[in-house]
Chains A and B, each alone.
Chain A
Amino acid sequence: MNREFVPGYPEDHVCNLLTAFLDFSDLAGLFNERDGRIVQTEAEVADSKGNLFRIDRLVIDPQS
């Protein structure tokens, strides 16, 4: 992380905000641990038309 661009946000505020997000948001499930789950961040993919995408968080679960 480039420290030059790290803003001086209050640590407690950020920590509380992210804790609440990880525990209660609709996306919380994507941050749970599961057997066989593969998590990739900033994964780059291309579709059949050549469009490039960078996925923030790619979660791959084994078929149940």
Chain B
Amino acid sequence: MLEVVKGYEQSGKNSLRDFIAFVSDEERNETEWNIDVPKDMEAVKVMTVHKAKGLGFSCCHTAHLRQVIKGIFPCSQGDQGHGRCQFYALNQKIADMVDELGGLYDELSIKEAVNNLNSLYVALTRAESEMYVLCVKNKARKESYHFCGFLPLEEYPPAAMPSEIWPGEKRELRKIELAHRGLRALAAVSAEKSMNIEGRRWGEYIHRILSSIDSRERSRPLLREIIKR
């Protein structure tokens, strides 16, 4: 997030409104949110289940966070004769009240369940050595959860962390060296740069004094005191 803000400010813009418009444009700036990491760098990759399709990783954590499904499905019925298209928000309550919508609700429910099952399959088949599944369950409210409804949670209570990480694979510790050694070079300032810094200090100094002055009539006798202050 900070990288995106920094990059945006470097483009010369400082308007909050423009930034909100910038980040709201999903099509235009999708790449701006990506952090490019070399493929050989061992870094945690965060992605959606859909993005992970076809990929494999040594260790995977999947977080099936709570998604309250209240049975609302967007559905539409085209009315070609009148050139209109009607949209409905269908839920269990409405489906129970209207017979014609009961079948449609069941059909949509099955489609949703199949989609979730496919996603669950993708999520659980990405790991090569380790797999951690995080589910959030709320028994009290009896809500449905994305993916979790398919998992036999009762049969598999939370397990302890494995004692051996990366079983069967010996990993050598990597020595990380400083990539930037030129810190001394930063301190070496050219004469021209030094003049600019001095001029800037002088400007800021005068600016601070002037910002303390209310009016010249009252400030003139106090000028020395303000300067000392």
For residue B205, CB closer than 8 A to chain A, the reply is yes
| A57 with B210: CB separation less than 8 A | yes
For residue B133, CB closer than 8 A to chain A, the reply is no
> Chain A: interface residue count, which band?
20 to 34
| A49 with B205: CB separation less than 8 A | no
For residue B18, CB closer than 8 A to chain A, the reply is yes
| A11 with B201: CB separation less than 8 A | no
- B interface, by DSSP: helix, strand, loop or mixed? helix
Query: CB-nearest residue of chain B relative to A51?
Result: B15
Q: How far is the CA of A7 from the CA of B205 in the complex (A)?
A: 8
Given contacts A19-B223, A22-B220, contact A39 B15 (CB under 8 A): no
| B14 with A28: CB separation less than 8 A | no
For residue A52, CB closer than 8 A to chain B, the reply is yes
Of A1, A18, A23, chain B has the most CB atoms within 10 Å of the CB of A18
| B205 with A15: CB separation less than 8 A | no
Enumerate chain B residues within 8 angstroms of A62, measured Cβ to Cβ.
none
| B215 with A50: CB separation less than 8 A | no
Q: How far is the CA of A12 from the CA of B189 in the complex (A)?
A: 30
| A49 with B211: CB separation less than 8 A | no
| A7 with B15: CB separation less than 8 A | no
Given contacts A41-B211, A49-B17, contact A28 B216 (CB under 8 A): yes
Chain B, residues 83-116, CB within 8 Å of chain A (1/0): the string is 0000000000000000000000000000000000
For residue B69, CB closer than 8 A to chain A, the reply is no
| B211 with A31: CB separation less than 8 A | no
Instruction: Please pick, from A1, A15, A23, A50, the residue contacting B216 in the complex, using a CB distance under 8 A.
Output: A23
| A15 with B227: CB separation less than 8 A | yes
Given contacts A9-B205, A22-B220, contact A52 B14 (CB under 8 A): yes
Enumerate chain B residues within 8 angstroms of A49, measured Cβ to Cβ.
15, 17-18
- The number of A-B residue pairs with CB atoms under 8 Å apart is 67
Query: CB-nearest residue of chain B relative to A48?
Result: B17
Residues 134-153 of B contacting A (Cβ, < 8 Å): none
Instruction: Please pick, from B14, B205, B211, B223, the residue contacting A51 in the complex, using a CB distance under 8 A.
Output: B14
Query: CB-nearest residue of chain B relative to A3?
Result: B229
Q: How far is the CA of A50 from the CA of B22 in the complex (A)?
A: 13
For residue B207, CB closer than 8 A to chain A, the reply is yes
Q: How far is the CA of A11 from the CA of B224 in the complex (A)?
A: 7
In the assembled complex, the CB of B32 is this many whole angstroms from the nearest CB of chain A, namely 19
Enumerate chain A residues within 8 angstroms of B228, measured Cβ to Cβ.
11
Q: Which residues of B contact A (CB under 8 A)?
A: 14-18, 201-202, 204-220, 223-224, 227-229
Q: A11-B228, A14-B227, A19-B223 are in contact. List 4 more A-B contacts (CB 8 A).
A: A7-B205, A14-B209, A42-B211, A52-B14
